[in-house]
Amino acid sequence: MLSSTSSFDTALYRLALYLYPPSFRREFSVELALDFEEGRQESLTAGPSRLWAFRAYVWRDLMATVVLEWCRTGWPLIITGAVICPLIAVSLLGQLWRVPHLVIAPETPDADLIGLGLITTTVFLVIALTIVVTIWSSRVTSRRT
């Protein structure tokens, strides 16, 4: 029974290591798994309550460090910027659309063409902002690695 618990705990922990960013996982996963197995063996000999305390500590620490390591990569900031910048741009353009001087009278001969131009400009700006944020973020992440 102990070997099945050992293999299950270790397998589950090794699987949880995939929550870390790839570069961190490549560098530290072997050591983390060995430390986990060693700590599990020590707590197993101390008794079942110690084993459960060890598991609780390890999982709490794992969740905290996963969040910390992902924040260190910069990806949460990059993704937030890539989502928020185009949304702000579209919101601002939507506010400008409501300004009275941009109202297109339906009887204007080229009203549909003007509306299509404004929509095309909005889409172009969203795409341009997405490209700029993507290029900027790739430079930031390449400096960190």
Question: What are the pLDDT digits (tens) for 25-69?
Answer: 999 999 999 999 999 999 988 888 898 999 999 999 999 999 999
* Whether residues 80 and 129 fall in one domain: yes
pLDDT average, residue stretch 8-20: 92
* Whether residues 67 and 82 fall in one domain: no
Total tally of structural domains belonging to the chain: 2
Confidence at residue 35, expressed as pLDDT on a 0 to 100 scale: 93
Average pLDDT value for the chain: 82
Q: Give the structural domain span for 9.
A: 2-71
Side-chain half-sphere exposure of 20, counting CA atoms within 13 A = 21
* Cα separation, 34 vs 88, whole angstroms: 47
* Cα separation, 40 vs 57, whole angstroms: 11
Q: DSSP alpha helices (H): ranges in 74-110?
A: 75-98
Tokens of 68: 């910390």
pLDDT band of 102, cuts 50, 70, 90: low
Q: What is the pTM of this model?
A: 0.55
- Nearest Cα to Cα of residue 125 among 101, 96, 90: 90
